[in-house]
């Protein structure tokens, strides 16, 4: 299989590089494709869980897309959804057990949301749209690219919410060190609350579409 790929395409041809770069901006899974919002917002109150979540999704989507791509000729179309779900669920169980063993605190904070990677539509969506129809290597790149596109939004939201909401970055009290509290600065407790994640993402979308005008929707 891999020999075939090498004959037709160099490993990092323009097309393949595009698979990674497009989802970072113009084809971003969260702000453009509207995939994977579910688990994205709930875990972003702090930076650390956001990063862990992003890494978990990179792993599941990268590996899963390759597996689906390898299996694509043997999966009967009628039962493909359940096959895909089984592949995802297996990978997610791996992630979950790994987190429980090595990062128990974070795993507690993420609670059900690790499990919810299974129904994260970004994963099913990429399997359906890409893995089922492409060779393993491009599928791997597509998986990684989309997961990174998802991840950077998560990390930006997590960073902003933690900074403005609790005045810390990765638990380190930034504002306190700058002495902002002594001049009367108060943390914006609102940023910690779930609804603000939506508004932050809304603002990211606003900024992105102001920069890239062609993305603007007709209502």
Partner 1 sequence: MQELTSIFVQSIFIDNMVFAYFLGMCSYLAVSRTVKTSMGLGIAVIFVLGITVPVNYLINEYLLGPGSLAWLGPDFVDVNLNFLSFIVFIAVIASMVQLVEMFIEKFSPALYNSLGIFLPLIAVNCAILGGSLFMQEREYQSIAEATSFGLGSGVGWLIAIVGIAAIREKIRYSNVPAPLRGLGITFIITGLMGIAFMMFLGIKI
Assess 76 for contact with partner 1 (CB under 8 A).
no
SS3 for the chain is CHHHHHHHCCCCCHHHHHHHHHHHCCCCCCCCCCCCHHHHHHCCCCHHHHHHHHHHHHHHHHHHHHHHHHHCCCCCHHHHHHHHHHHHHHHHHHHHHHHHHHCHHHHHHHCHHHHCCCCCHHHHHHHHHCHHHCCHHHHHHHHHHHHHHHHHHHHHHHHHHHHHHHCCECCECHHHHHCCHHHCCCCCHHHHCHHHHHHHHHHHHHHHHHHCHHHCCCC
Which one of the spans 45-53, 81-89, 155-163, 166-174 is the region binding partner 1 (CB under 8 A)?
Answer: 81-89
x/- letters, 93..112, toward partner 1 (CB under 8 A): x--xx-------------xx
Q: Which stretch binds partner 1 (CB under 8 A): 28-36, 53-61, 130-138, 157-165?
A: 28-36
Q: Which is nearer to partner 1, 133 or 199 (CB)?
A: 199
Per CB under 8 A, which region of 1-9, 40-48, 133-141, 148-156 contacts partner 1?
40-48
**Nearest approach, Cβ of residue 8 and partner 1 (Å):** 33
Instruction: Give the nearest distance from C-beta 161 to partner 1 in angstroms.
Output: 12
């Amino acid at each position: 299989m891999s020999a075939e790929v090498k004959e037709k395409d160099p490993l990092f041809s323009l097309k393949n590089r595009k698979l990674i770069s497009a989802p970072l901006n113009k084809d971003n899974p969260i702000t453009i494709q509207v995939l994977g919002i579910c688990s994205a917002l709930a875990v972003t109150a702090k930076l650390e869980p956001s990063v862990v979540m992003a890494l978990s999704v990179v792993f599941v989507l990268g590996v899963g897309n390759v597996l689906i791509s390898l299996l694509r000729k043997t999966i009967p179309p009628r039962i493909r959804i359940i096959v895909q779900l089984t592949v995802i669920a297996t990978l997610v169980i791996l992630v979950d057990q790994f987190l429980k063993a090595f990062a128990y605190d974070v795993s507690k904070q993420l609670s059900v949301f690790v499990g919810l990677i299974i129904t994260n539509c970004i994963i099913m969506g990429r399997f359906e749209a890409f893995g089922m129809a492409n060779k393993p290597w491009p599928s791997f790149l597509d998986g990684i690219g989309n997961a990174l596109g998802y991840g950077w939004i998560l990390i930006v939201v997590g960073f902003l919410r933690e900074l403005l909401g609790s005045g810390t970055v990765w638990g380190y009290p930034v504002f306190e060190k700058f002495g902002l509290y002594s001049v009367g600065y108060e943390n914006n407790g609102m940023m910690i609350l779930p609804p603000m994640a939506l508004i932050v993402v809304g603002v990211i979308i606003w900024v992105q579409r102001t920069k890239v005008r062609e993305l603007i929707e007709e209502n």
